[in-house]
Structure 1
Amino acid sequence: MVDRKDIGSWLTGPDTSGISKYPGERLGLPESGPGSIARAGRRIAAIMIDWGIALLISNFAFGGDSWATLAVFAIEQILLVGTLGYSIGHRVMGIAVIRPGGGTPGPLAALVRAVLLCLVIPAVIFDPDQRGLHDKAMNTLLIRR
């Protein structure tokens, strides 16, 4: 026979035993400080800085064309993230893009990541480790430096 203790109570809430305590725990990253997952505030500020730079370049070079702004943004992401592991906005905010084992993502990962980032939707859908679909697709992490 089923007893009430077997079912539990709605007062106890859902079972959270398999859920991480903080973003990046499942990946073996620290909770805070260098090497931890970059939180949303830093990410948003970094992308705003990068977009602002792309907008300035686009205004001076292409008369403010919105497609040119998107292209400048994508080129910045591909070149800088692919070679250095961070864009200008990332650098200012103290974050970097890495592979889980360490090291820069490389040109192919930067290209795919930038294209998905330009589509916006993959960047706003993320997992419990705060990795957007663009990061999951290329197996990259955005961490604090």
Structure 2
Amino acid sequence: MTRWIDSWLPGSSAGPGAGPSGAHRGERFGLPQSGPGSATGFGRRLAAITIDWLLGYLIATLFAGPDPFGVQSNLSWTVWLVWFLLTAVPTAIFGATPGMTIIGLRVARIDDAALVGVPRALLRTALLGLVVPALIRDDDGRGWHDRATRTIVLRTR
């Protein structure tokens, strides 16, 4: 069901009768119901971002030095920055983060362009890093970060 606030988001389908015809996620984009190329659910996306976050945490602790949990430590910001780079750069170039690759997902533009691109990847990652935009989703499973950048997350296997 489309809400009034969705009308200002790019890629929004707000308006009378603008919702999906109801059969499955991604139907309005011509995506299959299941299997490769279908819109993914929340669980797979959560697993992928968890892998990315843990990888970012591991890399950040390597940079933080011998006492990463000290009183003056900026570990949380270091983790966020490493995660941001680990997410934005591969998404812009390859359309998938390391966690997405492991889980079998990729980010695709809804206008069928080959690459997500740097501006979209940076905006998408920044909104994803705020957490709340990713939790508010539409009928296709796209969060506000995907709607604002006109992207969708697809299964690759």
Structure with higher RCO (Cα < 8 A, 6+ apart): 2
Q: What is the rounded CA distance, in whole Å, between the counterparts of 1:140 and 1:90 in structure 2?
A: 15
Give the conservation status (yes or no) of the 8 Å contact 2:20–2:28.
no
What pairs with 1:1-80 in structure 2 (closer than 5 Å)?
Answer: 19-62=21-64, 63=68, 65-80=75-90
Matching residue within 84, 92, 100 for 1:82? 92
Q: What is the rounded CA distance, in whole Å, between the counterparts of 1:136 and 1:52 in structure 2?
A: 26
Runs (4 or more) in structure 1 with deviation over 2 Å come to none
Give the conservation status (yes or no) of the 8 Å contact 1:29–1:35.
yes
Q: What is the rounded CA distance, in whole Å, between the counterparts of 2:33 and 2:152 in structure 1?
A: 14
Q: Which runs of 5+ in 1 are unaligned?
A: 1-16
Query: 2:118 corresponds to which residue?
Result: 107
1:138 alignment partner AA? T
Q: Normalising to structure 2: TM-score of the pair?
A: 0.79
SS at match of 2:126: helix
Give the conservation status (yes or no) of the 8 Å contact 1:20–1:26.
no
Q: Which runs of 5+ in 2 are unaligned?
A: 1-18, 70-74
Q: Normalising to structure 1: TM-score of the pair?
A: 0.85
2:58 alignment partner AA? L
2:95 alignment partner AA? G
Query: 2:11 corresponds to which residue?
Result: none
Aligned alpha-carbon RMSD (Å): 1.4
Larger radius of gyration: 1
Query: 1:3 corresponds to which residue?
Result: none
What pairs with 1:85-96 in structure 2 (closer than 5 Å)?
Answer: 85-96=95-106
SS at match of 2:154: strand
**Cα displacement (A) at 1:108:** 0.5
What percentage of aligned pairs have identical amino acids?
A: 39
**Cα displacement (A) at 1:27:** 1.4
